A and B are shown apart, each in its own frame.
Chain A
Amino acid sequence: MTTKLRVGTRKGLFIFEKSHGEWRCGEPCFLGEPVSMAMADPRNGDQYTALNLGHFGVKLHRAEAGSARWTEIAAPTFPKASDGDGPALEQIWELVPGGDRAGTLWAGTIPGGLFQSTDRGESWSLVESLWNRPEREKWMGGGYDKPGIHSICVHPHDSRLVRLAVSTGGVWESADGGASWNLTGRGLRAEFLPPDMAHDPAMQDVHRMVSCAASPDRLWIQHHNGIFRSDDGGHRWTEITGVKPSVFGFAVVVHPRDPANAWFVPGIKDEYRVPVDGRLVVNRTRDGGKTFEQLTAGLPQSKAWDLVYRHGLDIDASGEVLAFGSTTGNLWLSEDQGDHWQCLSNHLPPINVVRFDPAGPEEAPG
């Protein structure tokens, strides 16, 4: 079972560790700095923290396994345009290991760039094969002024197979390590578009996309206007309707071994973005979306206005422990798949990202 949880907030990185049966928070890292992404690499234990300094730009820091000594490394940068009017990095929105390709990392950014590093983040290059796709003209900002790549799923058995999602810009797949891309996402539906454009795959506002580690062709999406499931690697999607109290939300996680098990944090769409009736619930399906349970034990059931961002919910490698954090600075954790929740803090800064560290070798699920 996982024993370490990274919580990236508007004012720093807070690391919770379980010791003697209790989850405790250590001293904050990067206090005062906005953290947009945090990740511990399961291949070598490298720790990464992406900062979005208000005045001085996006920065990326790395610490070696178990170390508290952070070193600034290169952040992705867009190539210089000849007229000086090109894009500039605004946020690292996703950061994932590149599978069995040692040292390889993928980063998704705002504006909607995909970057690859092959040297543990010492250098980055823009994946121009995606950046130059003509469909990118249709991408739009979704919440931020510019579109961004927030979800990257690397196939665990074939690291050249990469799937990603864009807000707003749909679902894309590369089978050749990023050399070429296909726009997939058939069946996604954007209610917020004119009717004749609602099924345009390049205009879908995917809020978050996750794949099951043991069945990587089984994916879930929390979309701007609903919940979708794919059983074929993201090519075709089935919309899940009628979910109470709402199908709107940002976050989704899937069980690492059972793709029929997924969790969501619903809210009122879409101008409000708060829990329905002030009751904070986590929705869980165990049957691929046929039915959902509203999990409430330990969560506030009145006057709760917590919003959970797309990276604000995570599940550990065992599939037992979940955690989520809100923009109100509340952090909850469950050690029984969401049946019961404990509040770890009511006093954190607004939470952007919650990430469990991978289990160590002695802790890996059997």
Chain B
Amino acid sequence: MAIISFTDNLKRHVDCPPRDVAASTVMEALRQVFAENPRLGGYILDDQDRLRKHVAIFVDGALIRDRARLSDPLAPASRVDVMQALSGG
């Protein structure tokens, strides 16, 4: 199983503990989480299901390439980290 976890900054707004997922892409993994936690989806994806501009996702330590469809592949034991990009003031 892959494991997906979320930045602590997101936990301030919505409960989102780490979770095991059986998924072959980043989007599949997110869909599994959102099915149980639909409010979380709006914090990570925009109206068109693109990754929000200031959110970054790493798969096994590498930044994902497909921010529009989140099709980056996962290995069976991948680690997915949903982080916030640094910005603001």
Contact = CB atoms under 8 A, between A and B. Distances in A.
Interface stretch (B17-25, B29-37, B41-49, B72-80): B41-49
Interface string B1-30: 000000001100100000000000000000
A55 B9 contact: yes
A144 interface: no
Contact of A57 (B42, B69, B85): B42
A54 B12 CA distance: 14
Main secondary structure on A side of the interface with B? loop
Interface size range on B against A: 20 to 34
B10 A56 contact: yes
A78 B9 contact: no
A80 interface: yes
B68 interface: yes
Interface in A5-52: none
Nearest to A76: B47
A84 interface: yes
Given A75-B42, A84-B68, A84-B69, A56 B55 contact: yes
A77 interface: yes
A55 B50 contact: no
Contacts of B13: 53, 56, 59
Given A55-B84, A56-B43, A85 B52 contact: no
B48 A54 contact: no
Contacts of A84: 48-50, 68-69
Main secondary structure on B side of the interface with A? loop
Contacts of B85: 55
Interface residues of A, number: 19
A286 to B, nearest CB: 41
Interface stretch (A86-94, A158-166, A196-204, A213-221): A86-94
29 contacts: A53-B43, A54-B87, A54-B88, A55-B9, A55-B52, A55-B54, A55-B84, A55-B85, A55-B88, A56-B42, A56-B43, A56-B44, A56-B55, A56-B84, A57-B46, A57-B52, A75-B42, A77-B42, A78-B48, A79-B47, A81-B48, A84-B69, A85-B48, A86-B47, A86-B48, A87-B47, A87-B48, A88-B50, A89-B46
Interface of A: 53-57, 59, 72, 75, 77-81, 84-89
Given A55-B9, A87-B47, 11 more contacts: A53-B43, A54-B54, A54-B88, A56-B43, A56-B54, A56-B55, A56-B84, A75-B42, A78-B47, A80-B48, A84-B48
